[in-house]
């Protein structure tokens, strides 16, 4: 089995989504789909190190190219940590790294200036991207799903939201053995299914912190995880709501309870630690990404605001509740039909929006702790208690 582009067989293909963490996770269905169509296709992925190392150990990935770039913000250094096995290259050194990998096709899911020029300067003959600004001329093919919704309707039924946006970039391909276009082949292969991201849970389970592993083993139950940190103030669920949810989970469950402390906000969230009995859990110090993934891989439940860790939980198959305020859950949490994943939103009259801060902040505060607790207990199998 093989994939064709303009009648030429593809032996190797590079996917790139430089950032962000959630978008990289949402790109993983491409790896599964491409490998299903051609088990021998050599697949690579290019991303910034802080985000791309989440793909380490992925069973469908042959080569991971990590770009060493400087990111700013309270969590940039703390969240990344060290890669467990893969080195990172500067933009200058990445070009010969890509040249030596000899890719037949590159699919750019981000198509910002850096990724567009890296692919062009690496001499990859065929490059699929978007039509943003003058960069469209740096690609050999451009695909914009919004320009023809009817054409992509079947794809978005199977891969809704951001996953469908990513998969649509593969529409110029043809599956050689079936002689079907990518869209027709995809509809036939995945009819009646809704796909979701996939990350290697067993691989990341080995990265868990030894002390946390011991505490989990002593309790003999997987923990519940809360992640209150958000990159935008408008994505933060109020502290008092988290306090009530913590109290409810302590009273209603016996699982250990851990709160992932947002970087640079130890004082603000220390109150949650006082509500958790010492034998039951605690507010954790800031963990790097591998250790976060290790903890998630051993957990029973994740409650998170909209962010990369939320998507990681879904990718690891952890029952996940996403708390949404300004952003559109139909685009950024298209997972509810694919597993034990639930979204909660107040559907405020002013949402969705792109405001990072809001003087009339009503969307997230109107998601009430009792509602979230009820959803937690349902996912934990305690809905009737």
Q: What is the pLDDT of residues 262-295, one digit of tens each?
A: 776 667 777 888 889 988 888 988 888 999 999 9
CA distances from 142 to 139, 145, 147, 169, 343 (A): 7, 10, 11, 8, 32
Spell out the CATH class of 3-189.
alpha beta
Cβ neighbours for 293, distance < 8 A, ≥ 6 positions apart: 54, 199, 204, 207, 312, 316
Query: What local confidence, expressed as pLDDT, does residue 385 receive?
Result: 39
**Token pair in block for residue 364:** 């997230």
Residue 209's nearest CA partner among 268, 316, 282 is 282
Query: What local confidence, expressed as pLDDT, does residue 125 receive?
Result: 95
Query: What local confidence, expressed as pLDDT, does residue 71 receive?
Result: 58
* CA-based R_g, the chain, Å: 21
CB 58 within 8 A of CB 200: yes
CB 35 within 8 A of CB 21: no
Q: Where in the chain is the domain with CATH 3.40.50.2000?
A: 3-189, 201-379
CB 321 within 8 A of CB 299: no
Q: How far apart are CA 38 and CA 30, in angstroms?
A: 12
Q: How far apart are CA 297 and CA 307, in angstroms?
A: 17
Q: How far apart are CA 310 and CA 9, in angstroms?
A: 37
Between helices 182-189 and 28-37, what is the axis angle to 10°? Answer: 90
Find the angle CA(269)-CA(218)-CA(274) to the nearest 5 degrees: 20
- Backbone dihedral angles phi then psi of residue 323, each to the nearest 5 degrees: -100, 115
DSSP 286-343: P--HHHHHHHHHT-SEEEEESSHHHHHHHHTT--EEEEESSS-HHHH-TTTTSSSEEE
Query: What local confidence, expressed as pLDDT, does residue 271 receive?
Result: 81
Query: What local confidence, expressed as pLDDT, does residue 356 receive?
Result: 80
Q: DSSP 3-state assignment of 142?
A: strand
What are the residues facing 6 on neighbouring strands? none
DSSP state of 145: G
Q: If one looks up domain 201-379 in CATH, what number appears?
A: 3.40.50.2000
Query: What local confidence, expressed as pLDDT, does residue 98 receive?
Result: 96
Q: How far apart are CA 273 and CA 283, in angstroms?
A: 5
381-384: long-range contacts at Cβ-Cβ below 8 A with a sequence spacing of 24 or more? 382/252, 382/253
Would you write out the chain's pLDDT as a tens digit for each of its 385 residues?
799 999 999 999 999 999 999 999 999 999 999 999 999 999 999 999 999 999 999 999 999 999 997 655 545 554 455 555 568 889 899 999 999 999 999 999 998 899 999 999 999 999 999 877 778 899 999 987 766 667 888 899 999 999 999 999 999 999 999 999 999 999 999 998 999 999 999 999 988 888 777 777 777 789 999 999 888 888 889 999 999 999 999 999 999 999 998 776 667 777 888 889 988 888 988 888 999 999 999 999 999 999 999 999 999 999 999 999 989 999 999 999 999 999 999 877 777 888 788 787 888 889 999 999 999 999 999 754 3
**Token pair in block for residue 6:** 């303009």
Query: What local confidence, expressed as pLDDT, does residue 31 receive?
Result: 98
Q: How far apart are CA 48 and CA 17, in angstroms?
A: 8
Query: What local confidence, expressed as pLDDT, does residue 42 receive?
Result: 98
Torsion sign across C-alpha atoms 207, 212, 217, 221: negative
CA distances from 223 to 212, 219, 280, 312, 341 (A): 10, 9, 9, 16, 17
CA distances from 128 to 25, 47, 105, 166, 277 (A): 20, 16, 8, 11, 53
Torsion sign across C-alpha atoms 374, 376, 382, 385: negative
Q: How far apart are CA 320 and CA 304, in angstroms?
A: 8
């Amino acid at each position: 089995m093989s994939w064709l582009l303009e009648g030429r067989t593809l032996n190797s293909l590079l996917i790139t989504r430089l950032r962000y963490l959630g978008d990289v996770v949402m790109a993983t269905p491409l790896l599964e789909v491409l490998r299903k169509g051609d088990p021998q296709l050599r697949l690579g992925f290019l991303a910034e190190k802080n985000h791309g190392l989440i793909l380490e150990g992925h069973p469908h990935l042959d080569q991971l190219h990590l770009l060493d770039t400087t990111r700013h913000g309270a969590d940039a250094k703390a969240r990344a940590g060290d890669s467990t096995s893969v080195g990172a290259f500067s933009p200058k050194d990445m070009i010969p790294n890509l040249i030596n990998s000899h890719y037949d096709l590159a699919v750019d899911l981000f198509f910002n200036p850096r990724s567009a020029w890296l692919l062009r300067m690496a001499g990859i003959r065929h490059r699929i991207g978007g039509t943003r600004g003058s960069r469209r001329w740096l690609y050999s093919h451009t695909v914009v799903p919004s320009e023809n919704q009817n054409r992509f309707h079947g794809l978005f039924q199977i891969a809704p939201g951001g996953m469908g946006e990513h998969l649509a970039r593969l529409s110029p391909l043809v599956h050689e053995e079936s002689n079907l276009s990518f869209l027709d082949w995809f509809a036939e292969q995945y009819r009646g299914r809704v796909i979701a991201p996939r990350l290697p849970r067993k691989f990341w389970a080995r990265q868990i912190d030894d002390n946390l592993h011991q505490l989990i083993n002593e309790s003999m139950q997987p923990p519940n995880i809360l992640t209150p940190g958000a990159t935008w103030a408008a994505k933060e669920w109020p502290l008092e709501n988290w306090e009530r949810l913590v109290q409810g989970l302590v009273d209603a469950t016996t699982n250990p309870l851990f709160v992932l402390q947002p970087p640079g906000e130890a004082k603000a969230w220390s109150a949650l630690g006082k509500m958790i009995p010492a034998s039951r859990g605690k507010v954790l110090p800031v963990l790097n990404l591998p250790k976060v993934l290790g903890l998630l891989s051993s957990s029973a439940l994740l409650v998170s605001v909209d962010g990369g860790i939320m998507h990681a939980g879904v990718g690891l198959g952890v029952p996940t509740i996403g708390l949404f305020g300004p952003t559109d859950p139909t685009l950024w949490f298209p997972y509810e039909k694919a597993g034990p994943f639930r979204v909660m939103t107040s559907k405020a009259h002013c949402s969705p929006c792109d405001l990072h801060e809001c003087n009339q902040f009503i969307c997230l505060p109107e998601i009430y702790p009792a509602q979230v607790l009820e959803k937690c207990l349902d996912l934990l199998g305690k809905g009737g208690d």
